[in-house]
Amino acid sequence: MNLPVTKAPAWHGTIAWDALLNGMATGLFMAGGVSELAAPAIFTPVAIVAYPVALVLLLIDLGLLVSDLGDPLRFHHMLRIFKPRSPMSVGTWCLSIFSLPLTAAAGLSLLSEIGINFEWARILAVIVGLPFGFGSAAYKGVLLSTNAQPGWRDARWMGGYLTNSAILIGCAELLLLSALIGRAQATAILRTAFIVLLVINTIPLGLLFADLQPTHARLYTHGQQWLVGVLMFAAATIIPLGLALYSDSFPFVVGAVIFLLFGSWVIRFVYVKIPHTSLI
Amino acid sequence: MELAALQQASDQPRGRLSELVERLVYPFRRGEPPEPRPATGFYTDTTVCIGCKACEVACKQWNQLPSDGFIWSGNSYDNTSELSATTWRHVKFIEQFGEGSSAERGSMDVTVSDHNRWLMMSDVCKHCLAAPCHQACPTGAIIHNEFENVYIQADICNGCSCCVAACPFGVITRSNMGGHSHKCTLCYDRQRDGLEPACAKACPTQSIHFGPLDELREMAHNRVEELHRRGVPEAYLYGDVASDTYSELHSFYLLVDRPSVYGLPDNPFNPWLHMMGDYVRSVAGGLAAIGALLVVVVLLRS
């Protein structure tokens, strides 16, 4: 039997939260930015609420990332070089750069709330931030799949799922904010987008699940595999989809978003823990 | 020369602000890289290892690595268990007693003699030519030094553990003391002074050979041929040449059983072979979602 000889990195539950918060922050910014740029009259009031929320989420995420280092005071050592072949280096640079236009967009959004409006500057910050926000979302899955750890090394669609999921989560958060501040037209459009994205997200999730099927087979009994699969698909897709389709009322929107976030966290937690629970 | 006559040098005491600035600026300073030297490495002939652990002791002693405590592992005479941040050499003991024939053991490529035996192997960092740990490191702490050895700059590493996750041999470990990654340096300090690594120097049976890689490879091939002539047809070299999925190792081995018997991957795989494809899927997944969102917004905005 070819037993694995790798050592599991000291990445535990923190990284599952990091992966979720990364998706929540980058996804909210991108969903807000794309919607605002495509239909400013409808989405600007929602977007200016979304950017500060995305900044708070990103700050929490960065706090988790830094605290998970062996020597957190050396975080800035990541910025001494740029190394395209290192997903962590790509991610660190994307996150660092992304934080600047996001901060600008959030700050200018808050200023606009008190009547000081620099709309052109905010739009510019959003445009500059979009590619780096996208990079910040896209690196995470590649970081997890480009290594020697059992399970992760086979997860070819980890990146595809996480990036796709980030946009879905961002759309869900934007939908929730829109419903909270009572923007009916934005809410209606985002609800439709949310349903479409939920359906699309089943493709990379299914492919990721298929990638990891041999790993699941080794880690879990047949019954547990079913439970994990049902839990993942039900919490992250079927229940939110059912709630969103059933009604556009506020409680159903809240329920759909909560289930999506819970399901997304479960998926991240299960997959982040694979090397630590592997019996392969 | 008397010790007191040596020039004494120490850093000037700094204030807190100065200390902070130094801490921030220090990692960005660049020194002159040393001139490349002939590539060096290890060739470990496991057939002559007697499991004396002199290499482990010499490594600990020279590199001033702390004790790991003592536990009875229950695994033969191996109470070290594994390579770690404080154990850079590890002698493995593999007992093959009463396990049946080679066919029953599932031997694939080599024919294993059916008599009982005890395999021993001094394990160490493989100093891979295309090292996944080096590719993963986001700080540039892991470098190939002038001897083409994989070296961790301890003052740069920030303990992100990407190297730990990337190593297919399970060599690198993050220390609980300081939180940085550590592994064999191939006695970089000794090499710079023209000395061989402490483990190779201490090995009483010349199981561990150190030297320029070309010479080591020739020596290893001659040894394999000699063993074949002397009735050990299962002898072969592990890691001396690149495979389709992994580069050659600058620390390679002469083995007489499957790699996995020694706790080595049978077919090591460099995870970076997948990276571009993984990025493409990641970007495609994101673009598909953004495209769908954009279509819905544009279609429904009016």
Per-residue pLDDT of B138-171, as tens digits, reads 999 999 999 999 999 999 999 999 999 999 999 9
CATH of domain B33-266: 3.30.70.20
The domain containing residue A252 runs over which residues? 13-277
Which chain B residues touch A11 with a CB distance below 8 Å? Answer: 161, 165
**Within an 8 Å CB–CB cutoff, is residue B29 touching chain A?**
no
**Nearest-CA distance B134 → chain A (Å):** 9
| Per-residue pLDDT at B68 | 87
Whether residue A24 lies inside any domain: the answer is yes
| Per-residue pLDDT at A280 | 44
The domain total for chain A is: 1
Compute the distance between CA of residue B241 and CA of residue B251 in angstroms, rounded to an integer: 11
Amino acid occupying residue B191: Q
| Per-residue pLDDT at A124 | 97
Contacts 24+ apart (CB under 8 A), B229-235: B232/B47, B232/B113, B232/B256, B233/B110, B233/B111, B234/B110, B234/B111, B234/B112, B234/B113, B235/B47
Instruction: Please write the tens of the pLDDT for every residue from B183-224.
Output: 999 999 999 999 999 999 999 999 999 999 999 999 999 999
Query: Roughly what angle, to the nearest 10 degrees, separates helices B275-300 and A184-211?
Result: 160
Give the dihedral sign, CA A92/A95/A98/A99: negative
Tokens of A221: 């009994």
pLDDT at B99 over 70: no
Chains A, B: CB pairs < 8 Å: 226
Whether residue A206 lies inside any domain: the answer is yes
Tens digit of pLDDT at every position of chain A (280 positions): 456 789 999 887 889 999 999 999 999 999 999 999 999 999 999 999 999 999 999 999 999 999 999 999 999 999 999 999 999 999 999 999 999 999 999 999 999 988 888 999 999 999 999 999 999 999 999 999 999 999 999 999 999 999 999 999 999 999 999 999 999 999 999 999 999 999 999 999 999 999 998 888 888 888 888 888 888 888 889 999 999 999 989 999 999 999 999 999 999 998 888 888 755 4
In the stretch 54-93 of chain B, residues with CB closer than 8 A to chain A read: none
CB contact under 8 A, B162 and A88: yes
Whether residue A4 lies inside any domain: the answer is no
Whether residue A114 lies inside any domain: the answer is yes
Q: Which helix (H) or strand (E) holds B150?
A: strand B150-152
Whether residue A6 lies inside any domain: the answer is no
Q: What is the CATH number of the domain that holds A189?
A: 1.20.1630.10
Tell me the domain boundaries of chain B: 33-266, 271-297
Nearest CA in chain A to B170: A6
Whether residue A218 lies inside any domain: the answer is yes
Under the banding of pLDDT at 50, 70 and 90, the label for residue B31 is confident
